Amino acid sequence: MTATRKNTDPIAPLVETLLSEIGEDPGRAGLTQTPSRVAGSLRYLLSGYAKDLDALVNGAIFEEAYSEMVVVRDIEVYSLCEHHLLPFFGKAHVAYIPDGRILGLSKIPRIVDMFARRLQVQERLTTQIGDALQSVLEPQGVGVVIEAIHLCMAMRGVEKQNSSAVTSSLTGCFRDDDKSRNEFLALIGHR
């Protein structure tokens, strides 16, 4: 039995098997702790499954007459592509126009992380963030733009290292009102 089997995480023996299947020796010095490390890494990178939106927001919704746009931009995003289990990373820009209620600002990046820390496609991630804000706040509208680099495109497949994907999700006034949409795009540095 190798040292990694002492780990009680059921992912560790699967990683040990994977290492053997690709032709490595999981017992060699540099790899003896790898199954345990990978198990811990995956648990962290996919920790969004264990999170609940209501528990995350935890009552941080406040009555406020503010009715101008709230934007949190350049939120770092790290996720794993569900097709190849390779990372994609970039920035999320999130905005909403309140309708009598505001959300504690730190909750917005936490919502982004909750959905990013799951196996994802960027398109669904963008929509999930927007839908979550729409459901907890019921604002006049929500805008989400994510710009990301996908290692499944850069390291394999088409091998395009300088390409990025941009996705958006717009609800309410961001979808229906050109002025709100354009203000949001200007504030995050897009035309």
Q: Is the Cβ–Cβ distance between 128 and 167 less than 8 Å? A: no
- The total number of residues written for the chain in this structure: 191
103 three-state secondary structure: strand
CA dist 128 and 31 (Å) reads: 37
Nearest to 162 by CA among 174, 170, 153, 172: 153
- Per DSSP, helices labelled H in 86-157 are 107-116, 122-137, 151-154
Residues that are catalytic: 81-84, 122, 150, 152
